Amino acid sequence: MSNFESQTHSLTEVFGSSVFNDATMRERLPKPTYKALKKTIDEGTPLLPQVAEVVANAMKDWAIEKGATHYTHWFQPMTGITAEKHDSFISPTDDGKVIMEFSEKELIKGEPDASSFPSGGLRATFEARGYTAWDCTSPAFIKDNTLYIPTAFCSYTGEVLDKKTPLLRSMEVISTQALRVLRVFGNTTATRVITTVGPEQEYFLVDKELFDQRKDLIYTGRTLFGAKPPKGQEMEDHYFGTLKERISNFMKELDQELWKLGVSAKTKHNEVAPAQHELAPIFGTTNVATDHNHIIMDTLKKVALRHGLVCLLHEKPFAGVNGSGKHNNWSMSTNDGQNLLDPGKTPHENAQFLVFLCAVIKAVDEYADMLRVSAANTGNDHRLGANEAPPAIISIFLGDQLTDILEQIENGGAKSSIQNGDLKIGVNTLPTLPKDATDRNRTSPFAFTGNKFEFRMVPSSGSISGPNFVLNTIVAEVLSDIADRLEKAKDFNAEVQLLLKEIVSNHKRIIFNGNNYSEDWVKEAEKRGLPNISSTVEATKAMVKEKNLNVFEKHGVLNRTELHSRYEIILETYIKSINIEALTMLDMAKRQILPAVIDFTGNIASTIASIQATGLSVDISAQTELLSEVSTLLAQFKKNITSLEKATSDAANFSGDTFDHAAMYRDVVFVKMSELRAVADKLEMIVDEEMWPFPTYGQLLFNV
């Protein structure tokens, strides 16, 4: 039996073996400590120092037994990725030796220098102190001989500098408000409401040797040049296709690594575009799911390298084929396991479900702009609204059954639910399949999929924290209004009916079950007054809108200073990304494409000259036409280089506010980049293949 097989055989033992999880804590902690910690994790009671002291010790012993020499406070600064600084466990003794130590203080608090992380003006570099604080609700784990401790990150003065803190806060907020609603419905047993998330991660794999030859992939994660190959994704033969052996080996190892870290990687398949794949874990608590998604992104990259591959998480690595997103499946459930978005068999009778459903509908309609910006990043600007991903307009897909019920509610009360029955395939040997309540609508940005909502706009490379803390907060806000009303209601049932009816009439404009890719929808959405926000720069405005500032501040998720700083960070990130892309393009254009094309014209010219030198009267129109065609394009290419250079330097020297600066990158620099690319892609189609200075789309997409 190979090493790999024996590993597979003990999957149940492998799963979570590198995690200080519940089973390990139960085994290693004294009972009172375990109980106290569990209470903090499950019920949010304050963590006591004496508990942390015992946990620190047990965690250290466990980690050292597993070969760990270091520990790190793992945090999620505003870069969107994770950060870590490693400290060893060693502590010197008088006799010149060391012992391994790890104190309560080291577990609960870290002090990374915060000056080099984005703060959007929250913190000057001379006030560089930042703190990390242990998040005991997400289990510690071991990777590369290091104990990873998930932490939140804030400044010396307490401002939030990370993506985890607002998420944790939003989970508390929605729990409180959802419980109030549950109580008026007579639920006395649930003590917490948890938001659950299952993010499906899309990614591309390209050959490492080819990757290394492309500066655009190295510096920006996407191709800035590249003509379409003769074949793209039009045959639809890659989606769910058989896995190639190299890919399958990669995926097997990926699963193993993730399972060790307690990540429940469940589904894997080929995606629509060639070289594109997807991985979905089993859903979990939002906080843990977010940490796990970071682990997934990290592990994808690491394991890919072991197989001579590079994993691209960019939203749009290749023009002309689908890009990557993250489908953020989201629901709410009680701590005793009731999914609040489960309609049951007869949803029209399920008033509690309808209230939670309508709360989501109202929240999404009222704060669509906040949700939109939560999914915005430079890469996603290439996808949203580009007929492959959801449009930039937020709407909700509910399917026939629920739409029908809402219509009944609006017209006076719901009396029935359309039943779906079974699906008979018409072959006796095939089983009868129970039908889902709704068919799929792959074009919707926010789709109800049976017992959860799937937010499909989320960018593949980003943290899912933003989309989820926005969702949690806006739904909590609506639930809090609903609770206010229902708690006071004299006739509860009548008030529920009234409330549902109101929400349906006021917010039905957000419901759309049709094709989101159609032109008609764009017009229809405009008539309905739904925002169509086509770029990241535009989307950021939502973050400084009074209504939105108020709701986040009211619930204590982020205050207005923190939101302002995040607004600045998104714009600054946009500016920097486009600037890097422009500079990379110029580098490739001037130092790679231009010389190659000049060589090529030189070759044609010398061929013409040598034919002419023979004195023979042969037809050389092909050569001269080609030379003239290439030279014309080359001249245009050179001009476009000059104008991109000018745009880039103008933008760099711009002095004005961040928004206008970012808008300049979008409206001028980005436009010049596209013009330069267009000419280069034409040149690529006529220049000698051997002379083209870097691997083509065909090689990148079909060579794995």
Contacting positions for Mg ion (CB under 5 A)? 327
701 binds, among Mg ion, ligand ADP, none (CB under 5 to 8 A by kind): none
Please write down the long-range contacts of 86-89, taking CB distance under 8 Å and 24 or more positions apart. 86/146, 89/60, 89/63, 89/64
- Give the three-state DSSP class for 502: helix
Residue 105 or 440 with smaller CB distance to Mg ion: 440
Closest to ligand ADP by CB, 200 vs 477, is 200
| Residue placing its CB nearer to ligand ADP in the complex, 204 or 567 | 204
| Binder among 106, 159, 200, 388 for ligand ADP (CB under 6 A) | 200
Distance of CA 277 to the CA centre of its chain: 15
Cα(119)–Cα(125) distance, rounded to whole angstroms?
10
For residues 229 and 344, which CB has a smaller minimum distance to ligand ADP in the complex? 344
**Minimum distance of Mg ion from residue 400's CB (angstroms):** 19
451 binds ligand ADP (CB under 6 A): yes
Residue whose Cβ sits closest to ligand ADP: 198
- Tracing tokens 């945090």 back to the chain, one arrives at 75
Binding partner of 198, given Mg ion, ligand ADP, none, CB within 5-8 angstroms per partner class: ligand ADP
Which of these segments, 275-283, 357-365, 383-391, 394-402, binds ligand ADP (CB under 6 A)? 275-283
Residue 329 is a binding residue for ligand ADP (CB under 6 A): yes
DSSP state of 672: H
Q: Please identify, among the stretches 194-202, 519-527, 560-568, 628-636, the one whose residues bind ligand ADP according to the rule CB under 6 A.
A: 194-202
Nearer to ligand ADP, 129 or 440 (CB): 440
* Contact indicator for 296, 201 with CB cutoff of 8 Å: yes
- In the bound state with Mg ion, the residue whose beta carbon lies nearer, of 72 and 516, is 516
User: Residue 196: which of Mg ion, ligand ADP, none does it interact with, CB under 5 to 8 A by kind?
Assistant: ligand ADP
Q: Residues of 402-434 as b/e, b for ≥16 C-beta within 10 angstroms? A: bbbbbebbbeeebeebeebeeeeeeeeeeeeee
Cβ(594)–Cβ(638) below 8 Å: yes
Choice from 198, 343, 391, 695 touching ligand ADP (CB under 6 A): 198
CB under 5 to 8 A by kind: which of Mg ion, ligand ADP, none does 197 bind?
ligand ADP
Q: How far apart are CA 150 and CA 683, in angstroms?
A: 50
Measured distance CA(540)–CA(190) in Å, rounded: 37
C-alpha closest to that of 330 among 468, 479, 149: 468
Question: Which x/- pattern over 379-398 shows residues binding ligand ADP (rule: CB under 6 A)?
Answer: --------------------
Q: Could you tell me the two tokens for 591?
A: 């130092």
Q: For 424-468, list the strands marked E by DSSP.
A: 433-434, 446-448, 453-455
Judge whether 135 and 151 are in contact, CB under 8 Å.
Answer: yes
Site for ligand ADP in 505-564 (CB under 6 A): none
Instruction: Rule CB under 6 A: choose which of 82, 155, 165, 331 binds ligand ADP.
Output: 331
Identify the residue among 283, 356, 567, 670 touching ligand ADP (CB under 6 A): 283
Minimum gap (Å) between residue 331 Cβ and ligand ADP: 4
Name the residue among 333, 441, 436 with its Cα closest to residue 396.
441
- Which is nearest to 206 in space by CA: 302, 134, 264, 275? 275
At closest approach, how far in Å is the CB of 278 from Mg ion? 8
Rounded Cα gap, residues 628 and 689, in angstroms: 19
- 280 near ligand ADP (CB under 6 A): yes
Distance set, CA 375 to CA 171, 467, 671 (Å) = 19, 6, 23
Range 240-269, binding ligand ADP (CB under 6 A)? 267
User: Which does residue 329 bind out of ligand ADP, Mg ion, none, counting CB within 5 to 8 angstroms by kind?
Assistant: ligand ADP
- Pair 268, 277: CB distance under 8 Å: yes
Closer to ligand ADP at the Cβ: 202 or 684? 202
What residues line the site for ligand ADP (CB under 6 A)? 196-198, 200, 267, 280-283, 327, 329-331, 339, 451-452, 454
